[in-house]
């Protein structure tokens, strides 16, 4: 059960971010650095972790968004992502 009312039609993290644009920009910047900067993990590995965490959080939108990007970076099929 959500503790805040989020705008209709904004799935995943997009709804809460829309409530606070002043926080959305720096938080999105942090996520960009975490997910896309050079690191010991590849971008595909980080997206795969995002897919798994999103599935544990039962967020259909984020699971599929991260899963699609992971599939692109890892050059794998949907069955691999599902496993």
Which residues, 6 or more positions from 34, have their beta carbon under 8 angstroms from its beta carbon? 46
DSSP conformational letter for 1: -
Q: Which of 45, 52, 49, 50 is nearest to 74 (CA)?
A: 45
The whole-number average pLDDT for the span 14-39 is 89
Statement: residue 31 has pLDDT above 60: yes
Instruction: Please check the confidence at residue 4 and state whether its pLDDT lies above 90.
Output: no
- The per-residue pLDDT for 39 is 84
The tokens of 18 are what? 């829309």
Q: How far apart, in whole angstroms, are the C-alpha atoms of residue 47 and residue 34?
A: 10
**pLDDT band at residue 2 under the 50/70/90 scheme:** low
Q: What is the pLDDT of residue 19?
A: 87
């Amino acid at each position: 059960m959500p503790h805040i009312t989020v705008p209709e039609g904004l799935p995943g993290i997009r709804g809460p971010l829309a409530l606070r644009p002043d926080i959305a920009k720096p938080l999105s910047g942090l996520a960009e650095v975490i997910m896309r900067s050079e690191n010991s993990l590849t971008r595909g590995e980080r997206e795969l972790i995002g897919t798994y965490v999103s599935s544990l959080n039962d967020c259909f939108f984020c699971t599929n968004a991260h899963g699609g990007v992971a599939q692109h970076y890892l050059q794998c099929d949907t069955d691999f992502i599902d496993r």
